[in-house]
Structure 1
Amino acid sequence: MSPAERADTTVLECSGVGDGGITRVLTEVVRHWPGPQRLRVVAAPPDWAVPPTDPAVQVEVVSRQPADRARAIASAATALRGVTGRADRGTAPATRVLSLSPSLAVRGSRLPVTTVVHDLAFRLWPHGLSGAVRQYRRVSYGTAIGRSARLLCVSARTRHDLLGLYGVPDDRTAVWHPGSSLDTPPGPLPAPLATRAAGGERYLAVTGHAAHKGVEIAVDALPDLPGYVLAVLTGGQRVPEFEAAVARCAATERVLFLDRLPEDGYAATIAGAAAFLMPSHFEGYGLPAAEALRLGTPVVVSPDPALHEATGGRAARMTTWTSRALVDAVTEATTAPRPPVGECGRSWRTATAHLADLLAGAPTATRPAGR
């Protein structure tokens, strides 16, 4: 038997992974997965590229997601059935299944599944979601919660929400905080922002790829924050409500919408900001806020409890979801000493090792109840 054949296998089910933070989790988990291991990725995003990994980790992309949601779920379930159906239960080496987000595809697994739950926003902040999307998420989350042997929550807040909304007891859940390290050194600033910075203007950065990010609060506060440009990180996804807020703002000329940035451009934008803002109406964790603090950038967060958890209490916290509260928090953040670089959060290597340990502690030889 070769070393590869003697290694345990982890199947990463990714049909619930789309643009945004969960794709980042997929990339960093694969990049830092401890060896010796085989990783078999089911339903990888269409354009996702396998990152450099530990030489002792063999990565195989079993399937990729079709563009159509129904086909993506069906093909992922079929691929998962094929991968897990050939695994021997209760023997060494072990095969374990980790779903990186709740998905209907877990119905295809012939082995117990551990599912990562990032948030329950579709229940607690459904604004802007269509009826069809809400219904799909109700079904997919209900299926994943019912069929998973264990649920890993990215925050204590999400664990609390699982208990309150689904009655999931603590003995079926654990908290797993993602890493917050950015391994890519900062590169050049995006051209529009570099031009403004070269003219001596300071800027505030805010995540703005989804309606719950609260960018309209930052835009409304901008007239009371003279001397600052507001850089909205859209990730390539423009939100009409935010564009409408900018159109009616008295400081329109001080707002920049930035499209999807390369990793070094993202790191440069966050590291160079006078402060990083997350006035979100809802978060399951708040990874960008933790990343910003780790880069030594002052951070402002809304009263959302997950953001307070993600930043370890080191961020300036708004008292209400209002522009006045954001102005006060920006003043607090920018007049205090900048955070030490590298002291907030944990590295992706540490976080991934913790994830692997949690997965290894999940059942491997029996199906969850209800299967």
Structure 2
Amino acid sequence: MKIVVDAMCAEYGGIRTYVEHLLARWHDVHPEDELHVIVPRGLDLPTVGHVRHELRVRRPRMIGRPLAQTVHLKRLAGEVGADAVIATAPTTTVRRPGAPMAVVILDLRHELRPEQFSRKTKLLRRISYGRTYRLADQFLSISQRSLDDLHELHPQLRGVPATVTHLGADHVADWPAADGDGPAITFAHHTNKNPDLVLDGWKVLADRLGSAPDLLVLGVGSGREELTAAIEQRGLGGSVRLAPFLPEDEFQRVLVAARMIVFPSDFEGFGLPVVEGMLLGRPVVIGPERATNEIAGGHAYVMADWKPESLADAVVAAGRQTPEQREAARAHAAEFTWTRTVEQTRAALLAISR
């Protein structure tokens, strides 16, 4: 197959992780395919084994990026005789690209949690996503939860072919080995990760046990001062630390050494740390949230509700995980491979290709 991949939005975060691993595994399992990947000029995203096309993005980026996508996606699809196009985010060309287009759906948090986004971001997404939805010949959703959200919020799209293509987690096999004697790990890079709830739960643990387990908070970013004050206010300075910015290799070392993954996010499109943690043999705590429960498949420790006491209960239960439970969770997580993601994606493209 000849496929054009629009990776113009894969600059950071979950979408970058998705695109990077998808492209790498695609080259391994289907080297006969010809993938043409468009990226912003200067982006360090690896496109190993594929044809790379760097596009200049004029300022302001909110106008320059969709303009570049609109002009070059159609031109490139025509020049290479593309069988299909993958838009790795619903922010892409505003006109038909000249080949059937599959659109990746990560999540619809901007519609379901609008208070977590700026007015400008919500406006831009409403316009760009709405146009892309009308152009899509296929949807590739990273979870059933995200696909259900799409159909509930936009029922007119139920007639468009759609496939759930879960992400892979087997990239952790390339991470350094560790014995899991480090602190518990949680995340704070978005408000939906609920760092305040985690701290409240840790305070409950400290009151119950006399001292709380060691906890390392990742993804602190600009919230460091506020989180430091929150830690001190709860008297958790002896057990909770805020990590500095970690380059990828150090992030991997920290995660594989974690004693436990505490991930009570109230909104996810997938929840990659859940399957990463289980595949590494670590107990994982999650909240009563649809995507993470879908991905965990009954092998995580689920909070009964969104109260700090319930988080503390789940952490205690996770600390009692048996070897049999750990191996069952690991076996479940092992089903999430990037090879499966590639094969499901390729099958969906074949179904719509010209």
TM-score, reference length from structure 1? 0.83
1:358 aligns with 2:348: yes
Q: How much does 1:87 deviate?
A: 4.4
Q: How much does 1:42 deviate?
A: 1.4
Q: For residues 283 and 213 of structure 1, do their structure 2 counterparts lie closer, same or farther at Cα, with a shift above 3 Å needed?
A: same
Number of residue equivalences: 338
2:5·2:88 contact (CA, 8 Å) conserved in 1? yes
1:276 aligns with 2:266: no
Other-structure match for 1:205 = 185
Structure 2 CA distance for aligned equivalents of residues 148 and 244 of structure 1: 47
Structure 1 CA distance for aligned equivalents of residues 41 and 234 of structure 2: 37
- Per-residue CA shift, 1:22-72, capped at 9, x if unaligned? 100111011100221222111348432325x4xxx4332343656723212
1:38 aligns with 2:34: yes
Structure 2 CA distance for aligned equivalents of residues 359 and 241 of structure 1: 46
Q: For residues 223 and 46 of structure 1, do their structure 2 counterparts lie closer, same or farther at Cα, with a shift above 3 Å needed?
A: farther
Secondary structure class of the residue paired with 1:36 = coil
Give 2:340's aligned amino acid. T
Secondary structure class of the residue paired with 1:271 = helix
Give 1:347's aligned amino acid. T
2:197·2:307 contact (CA, 8 Å) conserved in 1? yes
Other-structure match for 1:368 = none
Structure 1 CA distance for aligned equivalents of residues 217 and 305 of structure 2: 21
Q: How much does 1:247 deviate?
A: 4.8
- Per-residue CA shift, 1:291-311, capped at 9, x if unaligned? 111111100011001000111
Secondary structure class of the residue paired with 2:214 = strand
1:99·1:106 contact (CA, 8 Å) conserved in 2? no
Secondary structure class of the residue paired with 2:50 = strand
1:237·1:259 contact (CA, 8 Å) conserved in 2? no
Give 1:218's aligned amino acid. V
Give 2:51's aligned amino acid. V
Q: For residues 98 and 75 of structure 1, do their structure 2 counterparts lie closer, same or farther at Cα, with a shift above 3 Å needed?
A: same
Moved more, 230-239 or 29-38: 230-239
Q: For residues 104 and 174 of structure 1, do their structure 2 counterparts lie closer, same or farther at Cα, with a shift above 3 Å needed?
A: same
Other-structure match for 1:141 = 129
Structure 2 CA distance for aligned equivalents of residues 161 and 318 of structure 1: 23
1:115 aligns with 2:103: yes
Secondary structure class of the residue paired with 1:319 = coil
Give 1:122's aligned amino acid. H
Structure 2 CA distance for aligned equivalents of residues 131 and 324 of structure 1: 34
Other-structure match for 2:55 = 63
Q: Of 323, 348, 365, which aligns to 2:338?
A: 348
1:169 aligns with 2:149: no
2:137·2:160 contact (CA, 8 Å) conserved in 1? no
Secondary structure class of the residue paired with 2:231 = helix
2:224·2:242 contact (CA, 8 Å) conserved in 1? no
Misfit runs of 4+, over 6 Å: none
Other-structure match for 2:10 = 17
Give 1:274's aligned amino acid. R
Give 2:285's aligned amino acid. V
Other-structure match for 1:48 = 44
TM-score, reference length from structure 2? 0.86
- Per-residue CA shift, 1:328-371, capped at 9, x if unaligned? 0111111112522454142222322222222222x233xxxxxx
Other-structure match for 2:208 = none
1:102·1:117 contact (CA, 8 Å) conserved in 2? yes
2:94·2:128 contact (CA, 8 Å) conserved in 1? no
Other-structure match for 1:180 = 169
Q: Of 233, 237, 250, which aligns to 2:218?
A: 233
Q: How much does 1:237 deviate?
A: 6.0
1:72 aligns with 2:65: yes
Q: Which has the higher helix share?
A: 2
How big is the alpha-carbon RMSD for the aligned residues of Structure 1 and Structure 2?
Answer: 2.6
Structure 2 CA distance for aligned equivalents of residues 40 and 355 of structure 1: 16
